[in-house]
Amino acid sequence: MSPTGIACIGTILGFILVYLRMPVAFAFGFVGFIGIVFLKGFHPALAALGTIPYSIMGTYTFTVIPLFTLMGYLAFESKFAEEFYRGIRGWLGGTPGGLASAVVVGNAAFGACTGDSISAATTFTAMSLPQMRKYGYSDRLSLGAVCAGSVLAQLIPPSFAFILFGIITETSVSRLFMAGIIPGIILVILYFAIIYLMCRINPGLGPPIPKMNWREKMLGTPGMWSLIVIMGVIIFGLYFGVFTPSEAAGVAVLVVLILSLVRRKINWESFRRALEETGLTACMVFFIIIGIQVFNLFLALTGAHIALGNMIGGLTDSPTVMLIILSAVYVILGTAFDIASITLLTLPIFFPVVVNMGIDPIHFGVTSVVASTIGTLSPPFGIIIFAISGVVRDVPIYTIFRGVYPFIVMISILIALVVFIPQLSLFLPGVMLGN
Amino acid sequence: MLLSKAEQLFNSLMRGMHFWLGMSALVLLALLTTIHVTGRYVFDQPVPGFVELSTLLQITAISMAGPFSMVYGRHIAVGFLLERFSERVQAVVSFITYFLCLIFTCSAAWQTFWRGCSLMRRAQTTEIVHIPIWPFSYLISVCWVLFSVAIVFKLIRYGGIAVKGGIQK
C-alpha cells in the first residue's frame, strides 16, 4: 500500500475513534503511534512518544496557555465579567434587544480575559439569562446572542486559536493578537446590527428595558474598570512591545490577583477553584497538542502533507480564491472538531501552500480562525451549543441552534470582509511598535 | 466496594497532587514572569535562565495536573453519536477505546522513563542555570503511569457495565 493510502486510512481511523467518544488527544495520538509502528517499526514510534510530550511541555511559548487560562479563571471567580455586564447593561439596555447587545459587549470584554469561548458562554448564560427572561426576551435571541458572543473570545486577545496558530507556524503571537482586534470589533457591530434588526421586525424577541437615568448609569460604570484595566495591560503591553505574550500573561495574572485582593473579590475557596479549573483546561489543551503532534509526525512520514499540499496548491493561482477555498474547508472542519484540533491538524498542510502563494501568514491566521468559529456554533459538533444546553436544560437544543443562525450569517459576512480586505487584519500588526 | 474505595482514594490523591504540586508550579511561573519583567524594566536585571526555569515549571505543572484531568473526564470527546445507543453498547465501545488509550499511555510511560534514564546517565542539564533535566523526564513518566491507572479504573467500570448491564456503583 502507498504511504498516502496509509495516511488516508489513518486519518479515517482517527475520525472514527473520535466519533466513538475516544478523547481527541488519545484518538489521534494512538493512530499516530500505530501508524509510525507500521511505517518505521516499534522503536522509532516509541522514541516519538518519549520525546514529543517533553518537547511540547518544555516549549517556553506554550507557557502563555496555562497563564492566560489562570488569568481568565481568576477574573471569572472575582466576578469581574458580572460587574462589566451590569455596567454595560445600563448603557445599552434601553434599546431594542439592548440586553442581548450588552451580552455581546460583555463577551468581547470577558473574551479579552479568557481566550476561551466555552467559559465565556457558560459565564454569560448563568449571568444574563435570568434577567433577559425577566424582561420578556425570547430564549432564542438570548441564547443565540450568548453563544455567538462567546466566539469573540477567539478574536479578541488573548485568543487560544491565535496562540496555537502562532506557535505552529512560528508567526508572532503578539501580531496575531493585534490582527484579531479590528475583525473582533466589526463582528460586535454586525451582531448589534442583526440584534437591532431582529427586534425591529419582531419586537417581542427583545423588548427594551426601562431606561436608566444618568446617575444610575454612572453608578454601574465603576464596576467595569477592573476588566478594562486587565484588557489595557494585555493589549497595550503587547502593542507597545513592552511584553512578549507569555510575559503579558504572567503579569496579567498578577494584576487580576491584586485587583481581586484589593477589592476583596476573591477568597481561598474561589482561588482554589480557579487553580483547579486552570489545571484541567490547560491539560486538556496540552494533551490535544501532544496527541496531534504524534499524528502529524505519522502523516509527515507518509509524505501525505506534501501530496495534499500540492493538490490544494494546484487548485488555483489566485490567493483570494485560495483563501475562500480554505475558509470553506475550515467551516466544514469546524462543524466536526474543536478549533485547537483543526488548527493543529491542518496547518502543516495548508500553511506552506499559503506562504508559497504569497498570502500574509497573519491574514491567513485571522481568516482561518474566523472560519473555524462557525463550526463551534453549528451541528453536529457545535461545542458551544452543547456546553450551553448542559447549563440550560429547560431549552431544547434546536431552539439554541435556531437562535445562532442569524449570527452565523454575520460571521459569514465577516469572513468575506476579512478575505477581501486584508487590511482589516494587517493594519494594526503593521503599525504596532516593537515589530 | 474495595474497588470503589480504591478509586476514591486515587481520585483524591490526584486532586491533591494536581493542586499542591501542579498548580503551585503554575503560580510560581506567574510570579517568576512578573519578577523577570519587573527586574528587566526597573532594575535592568532580568532573571538568569528565565526561559529554562519557566519551561521546567510548566513541565511540573502540566505533568502533575494531567492525571486529574483524566479522572475528571475533562478531555474533549465527541459523544453525540454513541449516546444514541444503549448503555451497554456505550460501555463496550468505551471499554475498547479506553483500552487503546491505555496502550498509548503505557507506551509513553515506558519510553519517557527510559529517556529519563538516558538523560541521567549523560548528566544532561539546562544550558544557563545547569538544572538536571532527567527528573522532569521522570516526572512526565509518572504522569503517564498515573494516567494509565486512571484509565484502568475506567476500564473496570465500563467492563462491569458491559458484562452485567446497568451502572456499577
The answer to whether A69 and A281 have CB atoms below 8 angstroms apart is yes
Q: Which of B23, B85, B6, B34 is nearest to A248 (CA)?
A: B34
Nearby residues of B34 by Cβ (< 8 Å), 6 or more positions away: A250, A251, A253, A254
CA distances (Å), B112 to each of A54, A195, B117, in order?
Answer: 8, 53, 9
Which residue is listed with cell 490577583? Answer: A257
Min Cα distance A2 → chain B (Å) is: 25
What residues of A are in contact with residue B61 (Cβ under 8 Å)?
66, 279, 282
Whether omega before A158 lies within 30 degrees of 0, making that bond cis, reads: yes
Which residue is listed with cell 536585571? Answer: B45
What residues of B are in contact with residue A283 (Cβ under 8 Å)?
62, 65-66, 68-69, 74
CA distance linking residue A251 with residue A18, whole number of Å: 37
Please indicate whether, in this complex, the C-beta atoms of A24 and B76 are within 8 angstroms of each other. Answer: yes
Q: Bigger pLDDT: A384 or A354? A: A354
Whether B110 has its CB under 8 Å from any CB of chain A: the answer is yes
CA distance linking residue B126 with residue B55, whole number of Å: 10
Please indicate whether, in this complex, the C-beta atoms of B33 and A286 are within 8 angstroms of each other. Answer: no
pLDDT of residue A407: 94
Which residue is listed with cell 501532544? Answer: A290
Torsions phi, psi for A151 (to 5 deg):
-70, -15
The C-alpha R_g of chain A, in whole angstroms, comes to: 22
CA distance linking residue B137 with residue A99, whole number of Å: 51
Q: How confident is the model at residue B169 (pLDDT cuts 50, 70, 90)?
A: very low
User: What would the mean pLDDT of A104-110 be, rounded to a whole number?
Assistant: 83
The residues that bridge with B125 in the sheet, in sequence order, are B132
Please indicate whether, in this complex, the C-beta atoms of A62 and B101 are within 8 angstroms of each other. Answer: no
pTM: 0.87
By mean pLDDT, which of A165-179, A388-402, B82-96 is the weakest? A388-402
Q: How confident is the model at residue A434 (pLDDT cuts 50, 70, 90)?
A: low
CA distance linking residue A270 with residue A258, whole number of Å: 14
Q: Bigger pLDDT: A378 or B23? A: B23
Please indicate whether, in this complex, the C-beta atoms of A279 and B61 are within 8 angstroms of each other. Answer: yes
The three three-digit cell numbers of residue A359, written as one number: 498570502
**Kindly report the CA angle at B130 between B124 and B133, in degrees rounded to 5?**
40
CA distance linking residue A354 with residue A316, whole number of Å: 11
The answer to whether A341 and A347 have CB atoms below 8 angstroms apart is no
The answer to whether A387 and A122 have CB atoms below 8 angstroms apart is yes
Burial of B13 (0-12, 13-18, 19+ CB in 10 A): middle
What ipTM did this prediction achieve?
A: 0.92
CA distance linking residue A227 with residue A258, whole number of Å: 13
Dihedral of alpha carbons A152, A157, A162, A164, sign:
negative
The C-alpha R_g of chain B, in whole angstroms, comes to: 20
In this predicted model, what pLDDT tens digit does every residue of A210-251 receive, in sequence order?
777 777 777 767 777 888 888 888 888 888 888 888 888 888
Which residue is listed with cell 431606561? Answer: A211
Please indicate whether, in this complex, the C-beta atoms of A63 and B62 are within 8 angstroms of each other. Answer: no
CA distance linking residue B167 with residue B169, whole number of Å: 6
Q: Report chain A's mean pLDDT, rounded to a whole number.
A: 87
Q: Bigger pLDDT: A118 or A369? A: A369
CA distance linking residue A363 with residue A368, whole number of Å: 9
* Residue ranges of E strands in A127-250: none
In this predicted model, what pLDDT tens digit does every residue of A377-432 receive, in sequence order?
887 667 788 778 777 878 888 888 889 999 999 999 999 999 999 999 999 998 87
